[in-house]
Amino acid sequence: MESASSSLVAQDSFLQRTLGRLSSTQSLKLSAEEADPVAIVALRRYLSEPTDGQNQEQQLDSYDVTITDGVWRAKCFLHPSLNQLVHRNALRTGSDVNIRQCSFVYNERRLGHGFICVEKVECIAEPSAVLPRISDVSSLPLLVKQGMERSADLQGDTPLQVSRKHYLPLWNNDDPEGDMWSPAQAAAEPVLDVSKVALLSTLESSFRGSWKPLPILVKIIHKSRLRYYGKFGQRIDYPYQAYFEVADQSGCMSLVLWNELCLEFYQRMTVGSVLYLQNYSLKQSYSNRSRPQMDHHRLRNFSSVEICLNPRNPAAVITVVSQKAVPPQWGLPEAAYRFTSRSELDRLPAGAACDVIGLVTFVGRVERVRSKGNKGPERFWTYRWVHAVDGTSNQPFILELFSSSQPEIFNQICPMTYLVCTQVRLCQVEDSPPYLTSSCETEIFITGHHKGRPYVSDPRVKSFIQWTKTLKDNMILQKSAVGGHYCYPPPPQRFVQSAADSPGQIPLIAASDLKRELESLQYREHKTVALQGQIAAVRHLETTCRAPPVPDDDPPASPSTDRRRADPKKRRIHSSTERPEHQTPPGEREEEEAREPAPLSWESSRWSEQRRRLSEHLSEGGAHQSSASRRFSSDQKNGLLQWCNLQPSRWSPEAAAPLPPQPCPGHLQLTILGINQQIAIDAAFLPVVCSDDPRAVGRCQDPHDNSMLSCLSTGLLCPLGGATRGRGLTLRESEEILATAQELEDKHVVCVLDLCRLDTDEVEVLVNKVYRVTDATAD
């Protein structure tokens, strides 16, 4: 790479001028009211270094950001005060920013090391004005301060804070991230001496004695996802761990791969791989961890000890043997599977593990949820919902797939692919079909990644492939979908609040806590909460996804307004895009009435008075374009995947063109008044209206009268229509529902709300279910 003093680039660019001014000034700080925009091409996360007075409860992540002005690149440190912009995805790759203040930071404990710290930025709306001018970002010279041209931290794939050696994934801790991870590759042909090897059955008896371990020859039959155990103040360079279950002819045992060995071997050690291991150690097995269900292997399980592969003390020697170099006389067992068809699923007990194969028909957007039992502020799991069919049932597999340390597969799941999921666990649901969720040992594979996997010869897999050959692509495509709001299982028929937190219980929160819950949401974070109160107002919206704030100082209602409220079938003149009536001149209001129809609405007879007494009206949430699923199209595959995946940590010029905007489907907006009538919130209700909506799967579809309360309690219209994806509620359907809205008057209800920050300022607040207070109990 070239330095800032290079004469090869003569153009005086913004970055070059910035570093030059930082070099020549005494203060090492630079502010600019006006600045040329720069584009963000990489955003990398890592665990921050400890500082004085900071404890484990306060640990933060640090971010390095690579920017370009089209002439130079610069790798900078993002000041911690700007972390919130990353958390909300306001500062992201592929977008432009104006740098308003930056400084140069020297490492006082190391010669020749320093970096630019970005302290104040202004985010610019997309699309980028800089990136279209660049054909190859990596070819741009890297700007560094004179004398620091050899800084490995600036030049390489390592963090700027020198005590950290590697980057973490931007949105979770489970995936390999960075160039240092060795990809899976064909193993070299080793020359092995297998005349003296130990069997696993002998290791248990040798554990307590003094012994020199003989080599072992084993096959991997299960593999866990990566576990990152890095903590604040910890001095381990690569705090990673991964479990494997390995077997030989005598039985099976757990094996754990530690620290930097994970970088080199995790992706090379796959199910079915044969390992020749030397210099391993043994330790007592760690009991407090999840384990795969392996009774179908019919192998003896040695569970008291586990094999440890360490980078030192002792330094393990690992040889991955290619399949063609494994002779039958080694007698290693085959990896066994327990494939279960959809027709058999309902008969399995809760918690049972199985393997499944199916044709994907729906893949949801990637969302995040805070990991339990972690005190750090930014620890998340990433997950997505998937539907897949196998031809044995009218119902699909409903799969909740968490990241399995396979980002190259997890991010490419889409309709029309063959999906294999191993070691998924069955979750029983009252009044709804069961679903399958990931375990720590789950692996996922899709079309393009099946070759060479041990399961390809399984009879159940072959039978599934034969079934797919009878299908017509067009018929499957018509029923396929991606993205949109999706939450499973549906809330139970009765809302029960237990004194102790129990799995799956929806937390009942105070209205005063709702604002904090909304503000604390990070990018694509999903929460489900319950709120008690009453529904004070309802209105139909068609193309406007989010309504403007409702004024807190409405004047007394006129007789004509009262008549409109009394008859919900008449349209109220207050469109979702115009000013409130009391702010609009009468002449102009008549023009607006002529220009566009106003939405249907209903209000409680006391809402106008209650609204004046509110301390806060939370009206920023609701439905957005991303709240509705889209039909899958092979021509738009890349754009659709980009739309429902998370923001990437590195910008690529191959990024798909943005999808054309999709109107927000017709829906109802509810104003929910907290039980103490101090705080109100606007939330969108998008009922299931057609049978091809992925949310229709698993919902009770018992007949009901399409009254307001019955729609809110079931989440769907009755009966469901045909294939009309994206239509949402029509004006006529809303008219019929609103005709019964009077039953909401002074009705005490519990509303289940799904919250998700879709992007910087797009907070999705959707009504999942409404309970009459008679349907809610406490114990």
The reported pLDDT for the residue numbered 777 is 63
> Do 213 and 323 share a domain, yes or no?
yes
Looking at the structure, tell me whether residues 605 and 678 fall in a common domain: yes
| Strand residues in 347-417 grouped as ranges (E) | 353-363, 367-370, 380-389, 397-402
Confidence band for 188, pLDDT divided at 50, 70 and 90 = low
394 with 427, same domain?
A: yes
Q: Which of 155, 175, 210 is a domain's end point?
A: 155
Instruction: With CA atoms as reference, report the closest residue to 56 among 65, 43, 47.
Output: 47
Say yes or no: 510 and 468 in one domain.
Answer: no
- Tell me whether residue 187 is in a domain: no
667 three-class SS = strand
Question: Which of 330, 361, 396 is a domain's end point?
Answer: 330
pLDDT tens track for 202-229: 998 777 666 678 999 999 999 999 999 9
304 domain residue, yes or no:
yes
The rounded distance, in Å, linking the Cα atoms of 670 and 711 is 13
Residue of higher predicted confidence among 14 and 599: 14
Q: Are residues 681 and 769 in the same domain?
A: yes
The H or E element that residue 40 is part of is: strand 38-47
Contacts of 548 (CB under 8 A, 6+ apart): 576, 577, 619
Sign of CA dihedral 293, 298, 303, 309: negative
pLDDT (tens digit per residue) in 698-753: 888 889 999 999 999 999 999 988 765 557 899 999 999 999 999 999 999 999 99
Phi, psi torsion values for 461, nearest 5 degrees: -65, -45
Q: What angle do CA 676, 679, 682 make, to 5 degrees?
A: 125
Over residues 134-146, the pLDDT tens digits come to: 888 989 998 888 8
% of the chain beyond a pLDDT of 90: 61
Q: Is residue 19 part of a domain?
A: yes
**Distance between CA atoms of residues 256 and 100, nearest Å:** 48
Q: Are residues 564 and 692 in the same domain?
A: yes
Question: Which of 717, 731, 765 is CA-nearest to residue 547?
Answer: 765
- The Cα angle at residue 759 between residues 756 and 762, in degrees rounded to 5: 70
Contact 282, 211 (CB under 8 A): no
Lowest mean pLDDT among 257-271, 437-451, 557-571, 632-646: 557-571
In the predicted model, is pLDDT for residue 316 greater than 90? yes
What are residue 553's phi and psi, to 5 degrees?
A: -125, 45
The three-state (H, E, C) secondary structure of 71-86, written as one string: CCEEEEEECHHHHHHH
Q: Which of 151-155, 567-571, 681-685 has the lowest mean pLDDT?
A: 567-571
pLDDT given for residue 378 in this prediction: 55
In SS3 terms, 98-160 reads as EEEEEEEEECCCCCCCEEEEEEEEEECCCCCCCHHHCCCHHHCCECCCCCCCCCHHHHCCCCC
What average pLDDT does the segment 417-437 reach?
A: 95
| Distance (Å, whole) CA 640 – CA 628 | 13
Residue 502: exposure state from Cβ atoms within 10 A (0-12, 13-18, ≥19) = exposed
Same domain, 347 and 320: no
Same domain, 223 and 310: yes
| Same domain for 720 and 624 | yes
Per-residue pLDDT for 478 more than 90? no
Convert the pLDDT of each residue in 105-132 to its tens digit: 888 877 778 889 999 999 997 789 999 9
Contact call for residues 752 and 491 (beta carbons, < 8 A) = yes
The answer to whether residue 177 is domain-embedded is no
What is the tally of structural domains in the chain?
4
Check which CATH number belongs to the domain holding 459 and give it. Answer: 2.40.50.140
Is the residue at 56 inside a domain? yes
Q: Could you give the CA distance from residue 174 to residue 188 in angstroms, rounded to a whole number? A: 28
Give the DSSP H/E element, type plus range, for residue 518: helix 511-520
Q: Identify the pLDDT of residue 546.
A: 52
| CA atoms within 13 Å, Cβ hemisphere of 51 | 9
Nearest 5 degrees, angle CA 139-CA 140-CA 145? 130
Closest CA to 420 of 480, 339, 481: 339
Asked if 239 and 273 sit in the same domain, the reply is: yes
Residue keyed to tokens 């020697």: 317
Identify whether 497 is part of a domain: no
Q: Answer whether 23's CB lies under 8 Å from 15's CB.
A: no
* Inside any domain, residue 217: yes
307-325 average pLDDT score: 92
Helix (H) or strand (E) run with residue 608 in it: helix 607-612
On whether both 220 and 279 belong to a single domain, the answer is: yes
- Residue 236: phi, psi to the nearest 5? -110, 125
- What is the average pLDDT across 435-460? 96
**Most confident among 39-53, 66-80, 570-584 (mean pLDDT):** 66-80
Q: Which residues are paired to 317 by β-bridges?
A: 278
| Domain end residue (candidates: 270, 304, 330) | 330
Instruction: Write out the residue range of the structural domain in which residue 258 sits.
Output: 200-330
Is residue 114 a part of any domain in this protein? Answer: yes
Average pLDDT, integer, range 320-337: 90
Tokens 């299931």: give the residue.
Answer: 688
- 299 and 377 belong to one structural domain: no
From 492, 497, 485, 503, select the one nearest 531 (Cα to Cα). Answer: 497
- In DSSP notation, 187-239 reads PP------SS-B-HHHHHHHSSS---PPPEEEEEEEEPPPEE---TT---SS-
Q: CB within 8 A of 288, min separation 6: which ones?
A: none
pTM: 0.89
581-607 pLDDT, tens digit per residue, is 334 444 444 544 444 455 699 999 999
Res 497 pLDDT > 60: yes
